[in-house]
Amino acid sequence: MKAIGRNARFVHLACHAVQDSRFPLDAGLALAAPREKSRENGLLQVWEVFESVRLDADLVTLSACGSGLGADAGSEGLFGLVRAFQYAGARSVAGALWNVPDRSIGRLVRRFYRGLAAGAPRDEALRAAQLDLLSDDATKAPYYWASLALFGSR
């Protein structure tokens, strides 16, 4: 799945992320197991997004652990998956800042999408989803509800 349709308004990638602080262009999203006897490593890497992904999406959600992180490029900001998808054409990118259990990030994202479907702006929909998890004793710790960050336009 290294081809994303140009007309996809919302793109959601729920998978594992691989970070590489020494070579940030090699960070990526694990979409498949590596193939034997193939150059294909199963990753959608930052360099591949910069090089070949073009889309016109309102939102790309990366609910993969650490997908909102990147290498510090000084005054240029962070260099990683978020920046790559913005370069590819996403107006907003939501990425996870740390490893979060699948159940809680799934609940957060479902609530987030419900807000978007109801017409809420992206920032307000995310805030409402976070407040929903915050109101539940089982997920009230910031670890569960604060990991997803929104980058880009409202």
Q: Is residue 51 included in any domain, yes or no?
A: yes
Q: Is residue 22 classed as helix, strand or coil in its secondary structure?
A: coil
Residue 3 lies in a domain: no
Of 45, 124, 53, nearest to 86 by C-alpha is 53
- Angle made by CA atoms 57, 89, 40, in degrees to the nearest 5: 95
Does residue 128 register a pLDDT over 90?
A: yes
SS3 11: strand
Mean pLDDT over 80-98 rounds to: 95
Number of structural domains found in the chain: 1
pTM for this prediction = 0.89
Has residue 119 been placed in a domain?
Answer: yes
How many other CB atoms sit within 10 Å of the CB of residue 57? 21
pLDDT of 43 above 70? yes
Residue 1 pLDDT class (50, 70, 90 cuts): very low
Which of left, alpha, beta for 135 (phi over 0: left; psi -120 to 50: alpha)? alpha
Residue 65 lies in a domain: yes
Alpha helices in 44-121, H assignment, sequence order:
46-52, 81-88, 102-117
- Nearest to residue 48, comparing CAs of 87, 102, 6, 2? 2
Residue 83 belongs to some domain of the structure: yes
> Contact 17/67 with Cβ under 8 angstroms?
yes
Does any domain span residue 5? no
96-109: average pLDDT: 92
Asked, for residue 4, whether it belongs to a domain, the answer is: no
Quote the percentage of the chain above a pLDDT of 70: 95
Range(s) of the domain holding residue 50: 10-152
73/18 Cα distance (integer angstroms): 19
Residue 25 lies in a domain: yes
The residue that leads in pLDDT, 98 or 39, is 98
**Is it the case that residue 3 has pLDDT exceeding 80?**
no
Q: What is the pLDDT of residues 4-35, one digit of tens each?
A: 666 778 999 999 999 888 898 999 999 988 77
